[in-house]
């Protein structure tokens, strides 16, 4: 494989201004317009032509000043938010570790208490202040605490997790690991909150029924040998886990209505969590199959002792071919009726039909006949799609990507982008050799149409046949003209003298 080096000057398809001259608008558009080096651009824009079209649309609209989601500015902004998110979260967590809630409630200002109520974990905002055998209900602050309870979950936890999703997408972290981490984090939060409730319910019962802590026989925490806060909370967490997993009631069987209802709710929620996890794993089953396929490719590369470059090309091919999911398309289509298969093929090639000019005025029945016989192929950068001098029996339609057309001597003629077609000369003349080579500049998705299928779909005297003949004649003439100019350039006396001097040096 020889790496393709572009010899053509990059022509700007519009009047898009780069940083020069240094004006405010040029600098703004350079930073705030779509950029191909951001991770999201590589995910959502499958070719350079698609990215250029989006850049033209954005910079040419009257809302050019809006920051594009695939721009450098948006990427830097999200990275900074990511840093501030973790720094603020770590500070809050450290604050919880180094300060005890009981002393904090008596030694700090009420404003500091409310700040902690909004930004720390739920057990630091108990409804009840308990100091040894004295129990008091904080009636004034119950509404504030209740609002904090709801607000922390819906406004703080959910907001942070949703923001994390965008950060994970920016750094292209796999969706499976994100879902697993999110579920684990939410599970830990849920268990912690339920442990707080499990610790709180007996205290509320003692308060409402005016039962002293030493006389509460039905309170599980009074049956413990160790009365320290850490030991009680640890047992509350164990009770919650056993009820969620439906493996028991904890150290002590509940006898009152409040704990029984609470334990029943935990068991129901535990079954719902199990069902959710099963659904989540079934949903990513296709992604797991794709990962198994990738593991097989890696094992194959190791067994064949392939070079790292070849191994990476294989992995890149499968990544673009299956889009991180794996399914047996032939098996799926085999169970469908013929009209339904034709309609699916037509809908799958909708983007190709919209981009190819010669397809725009064709009747739907002819389009369906052509699309039915198209065969999908994927080419990686520097792959030779067509080699000059070889016999051709098919033409190609470029769905996405960029290709370079070269003369037999290697002179670059032009670039073709999304919606282009090439190799049509082989469909018109039998045993005709290719007059040019075609090399993929980036990952290209093409559809091949063989000569026999072309003859079956299109009549010789039709307008489409005449249009393809005209395009083929123009391209042959252009390729021959460029080839002749290149040969005359190579045969110039000055050129021959320089080649002779270089050979003498060698």
pLDDT at 506: 52
- Quick check: is 4 in a domain? no
What is the DSSP secondary structure assignment for residue 430, as one 8-state letter?
A: T
If asked whether residues 292 and 278 sit together in one domain, one would say: no
pLDDT at 424: 80
pLDDT at 53: 78
Cα separation, 96 vs 115, in Å, equals 12
Domain residue limits at 429: 329-491
Most confident of 93-107, 119-133, 237-251, 308-322: 308-322
Q: Which of 75-79, 96-100, 228-232 is predicted least confidently?
A: 96-100
If asked whether residues 229 and 341 sit together in one domain, one would say: no
- Quick check: is 451 in a domain? yes
Q: Which of 199-208, 283-292, 491-500 is predicted least confidently?
A: 491-500
Domains in the chain, number: 4
Domain boundary residue among 305, 322, 339?
A: 322
Q: 205 pairs with which residues across the strands?
A: none
- Quick check: is 17 in a domain? no
If asked whether residues 241 and 117 sit together in one domain, one would say: yes
If asked whether residues 257 and 362 sit together in one domain, one would say: no
Residue 132's pLDDT band (cuts 50, 70, 90): very low
- Quick check: is 58 in a domain? yes
Which is more confident, 149 or 469?
A: 469
pLDDT at 439: 92
- Quick check: is 91 in a domain? no
What is the chain's mean pLDDT, rounded?
71
If asked whether residues 317 and 337 sit together in one domain, one would say: no
Which is more confident, 456 or 78?
A: 456
- Quick check: is 251 in a domain? yes
Most confident of 24-33, 77-86, 96-105, 117-126: 24-33
If asked whether residues 462 and 482 sit together in one domain, one would say: yes
Query: Are 144 and 117 within 8 A, CB to CB?
Result: yes
pLDDT at 95: 47
Residue 162's pLDDT band (cuts 50, 70, 90): very low
Most confident of 37-51, 82-96, 124-138, 391-405: 391-405
Query: Are 78 and 167 within 8 A, CB to CB?
Result: yes
If asked whether residues 161 and 36 sit together in one domain, one would say: no
- Quick check: is 506 in a domain? no
Give the largest CA-CA distance in the chain.
113
Q: Which of 118-132, 195-209, 256-270, 407-421 is predicted least confidently?
A: 118-132
If asked whether residues 33 and 48 sit together in one domain, one would say: yes
If asked whether residues 136 and 164 sit together in one domain, one would say: yes
Task: Say yes or no to pLDDT of 480 above 50.
Answer: yes
Task: Say yes or no to pLDDT of 502 above 80.
Answer: no
pLDDT at 140: 44
pLDDT at 87: 52
pLDDT at 477: 77
- CATH code of 407's domain: 2.60.120.10
Label residue 405 exposed, middle or buried (CB < 10 Å: 0-12, 13-18, 19+): buried
- Quick check: is 347 in a domain? yes
Residue 379's pLDDT band (cuts 50, 70, 90): very high
Report residue 208 as tokens.
């409402």
DSSP secondary structure of 58-117: HHHSTTTTSPPTTBHHHHHHHHHHHHHHHHHHHHHHHHHHHS-HHHHHHHS-HHHHHHHH
- In our burial notation (b when 16+ CB lie closer than 10 A, e otherwise), range 235-255 reads bbbebbbbbbeeeeebebebe
Domain boundary residue among 269, 294, 322?
A: 322
Which is more confident, 174 or 470?
A: 470
Q: 338 pairs with which residues across the strands?
A: none
Q: Which of 43-47, 133-137, 146-150 is predicted least confidently?
A: 133-137
Percent of the chain with pLDDT over 70: 66
If asked whether residues 317 and 341 sit together in one domain, one would say: no
Q: Which of 504, 382, 373, 398 is nearest to 439 (CA)?
A: 382
Cα separation, 434 vs 450, in Å, equals 15
Helical H runs in 245-385? 257-283, 285-303, 308-322, 329-334, 338-348, 350-355, 364-372
> Does the predicted model carry a pTM greater than 0.75?
no
Cα separation, 121 vs 139, in Å, equals 21
If asked whether residues 153 and 201 sit together in one domain, one would say: yes
Query: Are 249 and 267 within 8 A, CB to CB?
Result: no
Count other Cβ atoms within 10 Å, centred on residue 363.
Answer: 8
If asked whether residues 264 and 147 sit together in one domain, one would say: yes
């Amino acid at each position: 494989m020889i790496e393709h080096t572009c010899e053509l000057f990059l022509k700007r398809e519009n009047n898009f201004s780069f940083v020069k001259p240094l004006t405010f608008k040029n600098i703004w558009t350079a930073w705030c317009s779509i950029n191909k080096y951001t991770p999201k651009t590589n995910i959502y824009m499958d070719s350079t032509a698609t990215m250029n079209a989006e850049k033209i649309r954005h910079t040419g609209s009257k809302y050019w000043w809006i920051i594009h989601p695939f721009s450098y500015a948006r990427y830097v902004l999200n990275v900074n938010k990511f840093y501030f998110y973790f720094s603020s979260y770590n500070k809050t967590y450290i604050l919880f570790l180094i300060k005890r809630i009981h002393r904090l409630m008596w030694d700090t200002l009420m404003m500091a208490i409310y700040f902690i109520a909004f930004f720390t974990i739920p057990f630091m905002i108990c409804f009840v202040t308990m100091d040894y055998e004295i129990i008091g209900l904080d009636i004034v602050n119950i509404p504030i605490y209740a609002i904090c309870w709801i607000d922390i979950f819906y406004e703080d936890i959910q907001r942070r997790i949703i923001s994390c999703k965008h950060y994970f997408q920016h750094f292209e972290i796999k969706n499976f690991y994100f879902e697993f981490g999110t579920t684990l984090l939410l599970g830990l939060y849920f268990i912690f909150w339920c442990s707080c409730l499990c610790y709180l319910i007996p205290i509320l019962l003692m308060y409402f029924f005016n039962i002293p802590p030493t006389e509460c026989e039905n309170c599980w925490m009074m049956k413990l040998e160790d009365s320290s806060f850490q030991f009680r909370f640890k047992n509350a967490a164990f009770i919650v886990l056993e009820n969620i997993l439906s493996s028991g009631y904890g150290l002590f069987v509940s006898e009152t209505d409040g704990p029984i209802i609470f334990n029943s709710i935990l068991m129901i929620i535990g079954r719902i969590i199990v069902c959710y996890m099963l659904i989540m794993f079934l949903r990513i089953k296709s992604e797991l199959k794709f990962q198994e396929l990738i593991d097989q490719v890696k094992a194959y590369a190791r067994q064949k002792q392939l070079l790292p470059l070849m191994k990476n090309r294989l992995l890149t091919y499968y990544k673009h071919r299956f889009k991180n999911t794996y399914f047996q398309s032939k098996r799926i289509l085999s169970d469908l009726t013929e009209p339904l298969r034709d309609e699916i093929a037509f809908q799958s090639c909708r983007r190709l039909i919209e981009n190819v000019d010669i397809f725009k005025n064709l009747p739907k029945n002819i389009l369906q006949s052509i699309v039915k016989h198209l065969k999908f192929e994927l080419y990686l950068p520097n792959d030779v799609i067509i080699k000059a001098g070889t016999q051709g029996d098919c033409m190609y339609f470029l769905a996405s990507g960029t290709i370079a057309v070269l003369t037999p001597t290697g002179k670059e003629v032009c670039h073709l982008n999304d919606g282009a077609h090439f190799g049509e000369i082989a469909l018109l003349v039998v045993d005709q050799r290719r007059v040019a080579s075609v090399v993929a500049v980036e990952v290209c998705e093409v559809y091949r149409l063989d000569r026999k299928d072309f003859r079956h779909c299109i009549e010789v005297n039709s307008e489409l046949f005449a249009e393809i003949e005209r395009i083929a004649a123009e391209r042959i003439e252009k390729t021959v003209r460029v080839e002749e100019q290149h040969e005359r350039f190579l045969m110039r006396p000055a050129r021959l003298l320089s080649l002779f001097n270089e050979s003498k040096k060698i």
